[in-house]
């Protein structure tokens, strides 16, 4: 009898015993925190087809994205220069008496050459700023079909591999965790490519161009300070983020366990009802959520520490450069436009660096998800089809003989044990069980 008065069949009793032995008394998911070190050559092998996919239309989209990226880097370095020229023209106009009161008849005179030049600079500045504001969304719109193609290929490969695995794996699989790995892991490679190509690489190019501009304008001290600031920023970000990697990995594991607990509970709905174990399952799910929440709070604390250190490094670099530029303006070795140029360059440079920590964390998160995906893809296919399978052999003579055959998908749960059977030619035998 069940816990609420229903008679149980033999198969149901076996299922209930299996629930009690394998899940009903399990207070915590015992999942290994084994890490998988990604082989970067393998990652590159997976990434190259995504960078240059098959199909002329997709390849054309990739080329358009590359061209848009190059134009955006040129525009990003040109904006401060145009702004500097406009400020210098305005300062020159004011210095030459442009602020003096003039008669109303001046409105009838031809356009002021200063105004004509400044108008061109302002129009160019606004046009480039508009392009920089739209290029990210435009690039994403063009690149989305390429990303979808990449994600689809990965999803199909994972599903095909799962269907090729033996019955042993599917008996012991954890469906909730597997679904989570497929959903998150199949998008991780595409996300890594997008972050690296459209965010990290442009930021590094911006740093190099900014240092080149300062060096070209005989502002070596500013170039050195900027380079040192960026290097220290990268080192601090890398060191602290590596420490946060362990925290993020544990949070990811606990999140997966919580989802797995809920999905497995719902998949065993009938069994949970038989044991009247709904409250027990809810309590286990609540405990899993609480563990995940604690890990999430710990992750937020480490994030605050990382952001504080990053802002301190960037603030020191910006303060040093601006004080040096102000002193040069006072000594007439730089114009007001140069001061604006330095400030604009540094703000444009530090703006993506503010996101560099987040990008680094996102890349780490995708690496963690790819670890789980590669572990899934590395599951060995135990039963492999031969390239040239032999033809079926007819049974002659003594027929088919099973002599003390033992078989089990899991060693602790044998299916056949010392099973013997002889089937003579022409006989029809049915095996029920």
Least confident of 100-104, 191-195, 203-207: 100-104
pLDDT value at residue 293: 93
Q: Return mean pLDDT, the chain.
A: 77
What's the confidence (pLDDT) of residue 389? 57
Confidence at residue 108, expressed as pLDDT on a 0 to 100 scale: 45
pLDDT of res. 313: 92
At residue 378 the predicted structure's pLDDT band, cuts being 50, 70 and 90, is confident
Measured in degrees and rounded to the nearest 5, phi and psi for residue 406 equal: -125, 140
The answer to whether residues 361 and 248 touch, using CB atoms and an 8 Å cutoff, is yes
| Percent over 90 (pLDDT), the chain | 7
pLDDT-derived band at 299, boundaries 50, 70, 90: confident
Q: What integer pLDDT is reported at residue 88 of this predicted model?
A: 86
What backbone torsions phi and psi does residue 423 show, to the nearest 5 degrees? -115, 115
Q: Is 14 exposed, middle or buried (0-12, 13-18, 19+ CB in 10 A)?
A: exposed
Residue 273 confidence (pLDDT)? 86
Q: What is the DSSP string of 387-413?
A: SSPPPPPPP-TT-EEEEEEEE-SBTTB
Domains of the chain, with CATH numbers?
10-98+108-377 (1.20.1560.10), 389-433 (no CATH)
Residue 99, burial from CB neighbour count under 10 angstroms (0-12, 13-18, 19+): exposed
Rounded Cα distance, 133 and 125, in Å = 12
Which residues, listed in sequence order, are joined to residue 410 by a DSSP beta bridge?
413
On the question of pLDDT at 47 being above 80, the answer is no
What backbone phi and psi angles, to 5 degrees, belong to 31?
-120, 130
The span from the CA of 320 to the CA of 326, in Å, is 10
Write out pLDDT tens, residues 311-337: 899 899 999 999 988 998 888 888 888
CB atoms inside a 10 Å sphere around CB 213: 19
């Amino acid at each position: 009898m069940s816990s609420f008065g229903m008679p149980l069949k033999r198969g149901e009793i076996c299922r209930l015993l299996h629930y009690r032995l394998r899940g009903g008394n399990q207070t915590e998911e015992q999942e290994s925190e084994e890490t998988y070190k990604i082989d970067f050559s393998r990652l590159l092998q997976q990434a190259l087809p995504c960078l240059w996919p098959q199909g002329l239309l997709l390849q054309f989209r990739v080329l358009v994205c590359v061209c848009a990226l190059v134009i955006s880097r040129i525009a990003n370095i040109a904006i401060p220069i145009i702004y500097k020229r406009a400020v210098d023209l305005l300062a020159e106009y004011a210095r030459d008496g442009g602020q003096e009161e003039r008669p109303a008849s001046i409105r009838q005179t031809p356009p002021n050459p200063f105004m004509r030049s400044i108008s061109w600079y302002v129009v160019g500045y606004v046009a480039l700023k508009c392009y920089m504001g739209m290029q990210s969304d435009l690039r994403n719109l063009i690149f989305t079909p390429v990303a979808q193609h990449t994600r689809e290929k990965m999803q199909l490969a994972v599903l095909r591999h799962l269907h090729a695995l033996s019955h042993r794996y599917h008996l012991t699989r954890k469906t909730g965790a597997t679904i989570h790995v497929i959903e998150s892991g199949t998008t991780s490679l595409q996300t890594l490519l997008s972050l690296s190509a459209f965010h990290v690489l442009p930021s590094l190019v911006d740093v190099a161009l900014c240092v080149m501009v300062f060096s070209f304008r005989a502002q070596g001290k500013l170039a050195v300070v900027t380079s040192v600031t960026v290097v220290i920023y990268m080192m601090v970000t890398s060191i602290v983020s590596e420490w946060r990697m362990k925290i993020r990995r544990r949070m990811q594991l606990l999140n997966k366990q919580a989802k797995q607990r809920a999905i497995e509970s719902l998949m065993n709905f009938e069994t949970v009802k038989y044991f009247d174990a709904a409250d027990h399952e809810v309590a286990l799910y609540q405990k899993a959520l609480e563990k995940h929440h604690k890990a999430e709070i710990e992750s937020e604390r480490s994030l605050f520490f990382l952001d504080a250190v990053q802002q301190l490094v960037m603030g020191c670099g910006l303060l040093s450069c601006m004080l040096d530029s102000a002193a040069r303006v006072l000594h007439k070795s730089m114009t007001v436009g140069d001061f604006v140029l330095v400030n604009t360059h540094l703000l444009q440079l530090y703006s993506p660096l503010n996101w560099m920590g987040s990008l680094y964390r996102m890349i780490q998160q995708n690496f963690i998800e790819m670890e789980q995906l590669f572990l899934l893809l590395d599951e060995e296919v135990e039963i492999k089809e031969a390239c040239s399978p032999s033809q079926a052999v007819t049974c002659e003579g003594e027929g088919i003989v099973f002599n003390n055959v033992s078989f089990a998908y899991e060693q602790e749960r044998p299916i056949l044990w010392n099973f013997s059977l002889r089937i003579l030619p022409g006989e029809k035998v049915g095996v029920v069980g």
